[in-house]
């Protein structure tokens, strides 16, 4: 049985939480304080991971710390999704466990919040964005699978919500970023140059400026305005 099977079949408990070793201000990497947090940064905050308990084939009881796979900061809260959990965990800047948001899945590719606190999810194996509230109720979906129409999605991989509450979705199939409003209407598509080789895009972040990471070694970044104009590259 592999790690994922162990964790999927296990019962989960959450240990006590505390922040130490890293100032909260050092996490504010965007102009509004809303951004992704790396696993290294999250580890430095010393928030203990939820523990998965399972029974090994030999009958022993084994406890395994779960790994945070997607972590995002919104204002003074940290939202974290731990592997195989069907919920988001929310922490305060003091490390207090504030809330748990139920999810319709235990396998996420990405999530992002808008200015009202609504959550947009990319679920593994789906070609659409699921829109939920903080109680976990599904409010709607954006996009559908396909390659023939501009508004269709082919393997959406990463997303962010900008300062105008439009949803930017990086799709691996088209190597572009598609922008939707909350009614699911496609507003724009950007991310590739007409004349250069196809950019390898990996993830996106940001609100007032959209930062895209990628490259063959995942060591390149590009910054785009909200209307899709390239403003900087490294």
Q: Which residues have C-beta within 8 Å of that of residue 40, sequence separation ≥ 6?
A: none
47 and 91 in contact (C-beta within 8 Å)?
Answer: yes
Q: What is the pLDDT of residue 33?
A: 63
Give this prediction's pTM: 0.83
Q: How far is the C-alpha of 34 from the C-alpha of 57, rounded, in Å?
A: 43
pLDDT number for residue 194: 56
Interatomic CA distance for residues 75 and 95, integer angstroms = 14
Q: What angle do CA 135, 140, 145 make, to 5 degrees?
A: 130
How many alpha carbons fall within 13 Å on the CB side of residue 50? 24
pLDDT tens digits for range 11-66: 333 333 333 334 444 444 444 567 898 888 888 888 888 888 878 888 888 888 89
Instruction: Supply the pLDDT for residue 94.
Output: 75
3-state SS string for 173-208 = CCCEEEEECCCCCEEEEECCCCCCCCCCEEEEECCC
Identify the pLDDT of residue 61.
87
- Name which of 143, 103, 135 is nearest 121 in CA terms: 103
| CA contacts within 13 A on the Cβ side of 5 | 5
* CB count in 10 Å sphere of residue 214: 20
State how far the Cα of 91 lies from the Cα of 126, in Å rounded to an integer. 28
Tens-digit pLDDT profile for residues 86-114: 999 999 877 789 999 999 999 999 999 99
What gap in Å lies between CA 81 and CA 66, rounded to an integer?
A: 10
Note the pLDDT tens digit of each residue in 136-177.
Answer: 999 999 999 988 888 999 899 999 999 999 999 999 877 899
């Amino acid at each position: 049985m592999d790690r994922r099977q162990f964790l999927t079949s296990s019962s989960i408990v959450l240990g006590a939480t505390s922040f130490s070793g890293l100032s909260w201000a050092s996490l504010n990497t965007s102009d509004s304080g809303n951004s992704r947090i790396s696993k290294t940064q999250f580890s430095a905050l010393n928030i203990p991971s939820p523990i998965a308990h399972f029974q090994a084939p030999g009958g022993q009881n084994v406890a395994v710390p779960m790994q945070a796979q997607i972590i995002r900061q919104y204002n003074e809260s940290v939202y974290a999704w731990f592997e195989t959990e069907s919920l988001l965990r929310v922490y305060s800047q003091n490390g207090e466990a504030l809330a748990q948001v139920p999810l319709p899945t235990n396998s996420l590719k990405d999530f992002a919040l808008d200015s009202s606190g609504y959550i947009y999810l990319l679920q593994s194996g789906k070609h659409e964005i699921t829109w939920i509230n903080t109680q976990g109720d599904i409010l709607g979906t954006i996009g559908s699978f396909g390659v023939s129409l501009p508004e269709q999605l082919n393997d959406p991989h990463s997303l962010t919500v900008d300062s105008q509450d439009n949803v930017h979705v990086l799709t691996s199939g088209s190597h572009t970023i598609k922008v939707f409003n909350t009614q699911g209407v496609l507003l724009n598509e950007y991310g590739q140059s007409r004349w250069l080789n196809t950019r390898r895009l990996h993830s996106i972040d940001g609100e007032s400026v959209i930062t895209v990471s990628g490259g063959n070694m995942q060591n390149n970044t590009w910054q785009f305005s909200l209307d899709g104009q390239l403003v900087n590259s490294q």
